[in-house]
Structure 1
Amino acid sequence: MNRERAMVTPDDLDLGLVAQSFRSEIRQWLSDNVPPGLIDVDPESATPTQTAELQKWADQLYRAGYMGITWPEEYGGRGLSAIEVSVMNEEFDRARVARMTRGVGEWLVAPAILKWGTESQKQRLLPRILDGTDVYCQGFSEPGAGSDLAALSTVGRTEGDELVITGQKLWTSGATRANMLFCLCRTDPAAPRHRGITYVLVPMRVPDGSFNGMELNPIRQMTGEADFTATFLDAARAPLDNVIGGLNNGWQVTMTTLGSERGGSVTTQHVPFAKEFWQAVEIARKTGAVEDSRVRQQLAWAFTQVEIMRYQGLATLGDVLTGKESDVRASINKMFWSEYSQAFLDRVANIRGAEAMLLPAQPADSYEPDNWTRNMLQSRSSTIWGGTAEVQRNIVAERVLGLPR
């Protein structure tokens, strides 16, 4: 297996003059501006010092006009297409530096606002996402409403010009770093399941700095981290002006957000998996495991899966170029990479042997596995978040194969 093999990449494709011009522009900008200290730094495993530098890098990208590039120009974007997003991802990968975004605010909340928000909401809310003023976390899942999101029981009632929200949300990612919660609540309990739901943006704190009727309880994961919280809402208040898409129309708005969550980065989704693969090859060589024909077979399998991911990305890009609907392809891609990741990391643990069962030296009251073990444990959630593998199979069965519900 040769990393330098010839292959067709998006860089070899004629994506049009706009994409070609944008590629030249951003390649030159990155050449002039990439901080040397951030080359090959993964935001997921960055040190506190690196995290601070990554935040500065994000602000620099914003000032240069590289946040929200698909948004219309009147809202701070550049009016470019998904093709240019793909080009951007490729160039950041080429430069070996993280492409920082404004998180779920930029790639989950903003698409919902752009499609369903009023002109006043777009003018008010979108700039605050781009400049980093508003940092969002997601309030969808509940103890009794995960994959079956329409079973949510959090209640919202109108009181004057506010929506008052009471209930519990679970697996709220990044809640301790956020100041805004995009939340689903049931505002018409008499309506059918998928109706009577409202999508609202809730400030997490009031002007004096105290919580806005919220209590955040961190959830410790298998990795030892606590990236999620159980979020309890007790009369949390949001202005009715923060309801997106109108009262009781939240399910339609939610479909826009979920479609964005499952879509991923079209042509570069395979890149981190390719890097992991070659790192695993090096481990197998160093440990001598590569001499085992079974290990070689497993590595060959992994190489094939990553190549399939790459071609799926090119096919999705083809859908974009021809204007085809790609929601179902997004479900197929999500199902494919999430299940591959679990299987691959299990195989790497076997290749590593006893080392995979040991923790690095650390204080007795802490628990922090190395990156391989951390990724293996985290991969357990990848077939759940963003729509479970079972849900994705139902989408493919019904929309592609025409099977009955």
Structure 2
Amino acid sequence: MSWPEEHGGRGLGPVETLVVEEEFARAGLRRPQLGMGETLLAPALLAHGSEDQKRRFLPRILSGEDTWCQGFSEPETGSDLASLRTSGTVDGDELRINGDKIWTSHGGQANMMFLLCRTDRDAPRHQGISFVLVPMTDNGIDVDPIRMASGDRGFAQERITDARAPLSNVVGGLGNGWAVAMTTLGAERAGKAATQYVGYRHELDVLAERLDKNGRLGDVIVRQRLAELVVEVELMRAVGSVIGARVAEGETVDKLLAIDKVNWSEYHCVFGSTALELLGASALTRPDGDGYQLDSLQRVFLESRGRRIARGSNQIQRNIIGERILDLPR
């Protein structure tokens, strides 16, 4: 919805996009999205891509011909993205890529990956990194799904051996990938900040409905706990509105996003624990069915723990808050 009209979008701003998200939520539906191609790669292409790259890749996102995943995280590098080890070697008019990626959302379903690799090992840490668009099919990329605590296999690890990508698939030019990656991460965090409360409010409604069905909604203590969760969600809504407005005005909101990241991820853990606690014994049984069945609130409880790491670990975000907002020493 936020893409420029000349590239097939609606040209909507953050506030207009939020209105659409709210209306879908009120109807009990998820807004259709085109995955990471729409939400993460497209902002980077629109900001840093050549006209040829926009012409080649944006229509294939809209048509569904390409499904994308993000190859940033690597084994043993933790949250220090600049310490990546995957290498990209110029070979004629191509890059030859070798390395490993991990925690790749939807890596098992994607046919394309936008990844970071180091193309100049003599450059400073945040330089010499390139942002490359790499085909995954029959291209030296072995994908191993990772099973999560919830039973899902939404993550994957990739072992990359001599994968090839034309130099024309390098976004922003060789060695300039850090700036492109920051655009991608900024789009991910800012986009979620303005709209994520919609999902959290829906989870609250699900919890209240189940408590009502169990005859527990009249309990004063239960209602007090729910009220505390409602306040937290409404605070996230207010902060998200501020972030959305500032993004619309072209401001850099990295500091606000660090605070927001800590707030929503810690809230989600509290919500997951509180939901199962209030539901009582019924939360300990799994629905009937084959496989590893979970209801939606059990899934929240298990998956919310990883939210403290996703989109930048909370330890790193607290460092950012301490150093860049509170002016504390490193």
Q: How does 1:5-404 map to 2 (within 5 A)?
A: 69-205=1-137, 211-265=138-192, 267-290=194-217, 293-320=220-247, 322-363=249-290, 366-404=291-329
CA contact (8 A) 2:112 2:134 kept: yes
Assess, with a 3 A threshold, how the Cα gap between structure 1 residues 229 and 317 changes in structure 2: closer, same or farther: closer
SS of equivalent residue, structure 1 residue 269: helix
Count of residue correspondences: 330
Q: Distance in 1 between matches of 2:241 and 2:317?
A: 21
Greater Cα radius of gyration, structure 1 or 2: 1
Paired residue for 1:13? none
CA contact (8 A) 2:193 2:260 kept: no
Assess, with a 3 A threshold, how the Cα gap between structure 1 residues 334 and 122 changes in structure 2: closer, same or farther: same
Assess, with a 3 A threshold, how the Cα gap between structure 1 residues 96 and 352 changes in structure 2: closer, same or farther: closer
Structure 1 residue 74: deviation in Å? 2.9
Which TM-score applies when normalising by structure 1?
0.76
Q: Distance in 1 between matches of 2:2 and 2:211?
A: 42
CA contact (8 A) 1:280 1:348 kept: yes
Q: Distance in 2 between matches of 1:89 and 1:272?
A: 10
Structure 1 residue 85: deviation in Å? 1.8
Q: Distance in 1 between matches of 2:217 and 2:89?
A: 62
Q: 5+ residue gaps in structure 2?
A: none
Q: Distance in 2 between matches of 1:293 and 1:77?
A: 48
Structure 1 residue 175: deviation in Å? 1.6
Q: Distance in 2 between matches of 1:367 and 1:279?
A: 21
Structure 1 residue 92: deviation in Å? 2.5
RMSD, aligned α-carbons: 2.0
CA contact (8 A) 1:144 1:151 kept: no
1:61-109, Cα deviation, whole Å (9 max, x unpaired): xxxxxxxx33233322343322332232233334433211211111111
The percent of aligned pairs where both chains have the same amino acid is 49
1:175-218, Cα deviation, whole Å (9 max, x unpaired): 2221101111111112222111111010011xxxxx21011111
Partner letter of residue 259 of structure 1? G
Partner letter of residue 84 of structure 2? L
Structure 1 residue 321: deviation in Å? 5.5
Assess, with a 3 A threshold, how the Cα gap between structure 1 residues 229 and 268 changes in structure 2: closer, same or farther: closer
Q: Distance in 2 between matches of 1:214 and 1:319?
A: 40
SS of equivalent residue, structure 2 residue 102: strand
1:301-348, Cα deviation, whole Å (9 max, x unpaired): 112111111221232244246554323222222221111011111011
CA contact (8 A) 1:144 1:152 kept: no
Assess, with a 3 A threshold, how the Cα gap between structure 1 residues 74 and 284 changes in structure 2: closer, same or farther: closer
Assess, with a 3 A threshold, how the Cα gap between structure 1 residues 241 and 324 changes in structure 2: closer, same or farther: closer
Assess, with a 3 A threshold, how the Cα gap between structure 1 residues 197 and 279 changes in structure 2: closer, same or farther: same
Q: Distance in 1 between matches of 2:320 and 2:175?
A: 24
